[in-house]
Amino acid sequence: MSLEKIYLNDVVLGKSNKWSPYFSAYQKHLEKYLNRDWVTVLEIGVQGGGSLELWKKYFGKNSTIIGLDIFKHELVDKVEQLGGIDFFIGRQQNTEDLDKILDKYPEIDIVIDDGSHISYQQKITFDYLFPKIKDTATYIVEDLHTSFWPDHNGHTEKGNEEHSFFNYALSLTKEMQRLKNKKLWNFHMTRLSDKQLEQDFYNDAIERPNYWQSNLDSISFYESMIAFEKKPRSMILNMMIGHMR
């Protein structure tokens, strides 16, 4: 089932506009959820409701599609008639508004942030929601060209690219690395067969993995879009086979 075809042919109740490269990226990250018994999607930034309709038609009846926006467009009422859609009025940077959603839907599989496009708000939302959504969830942020627009208020609160959400995501690509810690590398090279390995790994002497090293599986950069895949990461092992001379 092509997401792009659904968008172009089957979204008839709401209105939307999306950049063409998004569809293949979305499909790559979200296709796996089609096989699940149930999928819960939170979209931040709903506008004319076309994307809520897209997600409902893509994921089907075994899905809940939640929308969050600062206002409710009249077309959203029409889209809600499809069923399985729940709309909240609120601000993505207000954690109390996010809590109302989390209280009702504690098991969110997918977050799509297409809301304010303001970097510091994208960051507040990401930092707050990412640890609270499912352990194996996908978090996507759209329209990240705004991270590069000096004249756009989506840039940052300080008007500086250094503080953009795009740069924050780049910094997490470094945060999530474990073997940059050479102590860990040496430890695994010398202690691989030791039965105490796991216990020692969590010993402070070796250094505990940080949150991102334990929970962030991958970060994928696309044209104007970033997709974060969440997964509990087990202990890292250097898996040797055969003999090396």
Among 91, 123, 155, 230, which residue interacts with ligand SAM (rule: CB under 6 A)? Answer: 91
**Is there binding between residue 69 and ligand SAM (CB under 6 A)?**
yes
40: its two tokens? 């819960």
User: Which DSSP state fits 114?
Assistant: -
Residues 6+ apart with CB under 8 A from 94: none
Q: Is 93 in the site for ligand SAM (CB under 6 A)?
A: yes
Q: Quick one: 109 or 142, whose CB is closer to ligand SAM?
A: 142
- Our finding on whether 152 is near ligand SAM (CB under 6 A) is no
E strand map for 23-158: 39-44, 63-69, 85-89, 110-113, 138-141
State the minimum distance, in angstroms, from the CB of residue 5 to ligand SAM. Answer: 16
Residues with catalytic annotation? 117
The one-letter amino acid code at 4 reads E
**Bridge partners of residue 39, in order along the sequence:** 63
Look up residue 96 and give its amino acid: E
x/- letters, 34..53, toward ligand SAM (CB under 6 A): ---------xxxxx--xx--
CB 118 within 8 A of CB 163: no
Return the number of the residue (115 or 209) whose C-beta is nearest ligand SAM.
Answer: 115
> At its nearest, how many Å lie between ligand SAM and the CB of residue 26?
11
Query: In this complex, which beta carbon is closest to ligand SAM, that of residue 69 or of residue 109?
Result: 69
Distance of alpha carbon 159 from alpha carbon 152, whole angstroms = 8
**Does the protein bind ligand SAM through residue 92 (CB under 6 A)?**
yes
Q: Tell me: does residue 113 bind ligand SAM (CB under 6 A).
A: no
Per CB under 6 A, 63 contacts ligand SAM: no
Q: Which of residues 3-32 bind ligand SAM (CB under 6 A)?
A: 16, 18
Residue 74 interacting with ligand SAM (CB under 6 A): no
Nearer to ligand SAM, 85 or 216 (CB): 85
Pair 41, 63: CB distance under 8 Å: yes
- Please name the residues in contact with 218: beta carbons below 8 A apart, sequence gap of 6 or more: 228, 229
Structure tokens at 56: 């409902």
Count, residues near ligand SAM per rule CB under 6 A = 20
Is 114 a residue that touches ligand SAM (CB under 6 A)? yes
Are the CB atoms for 129 and 9 separated by under 8 Å? no
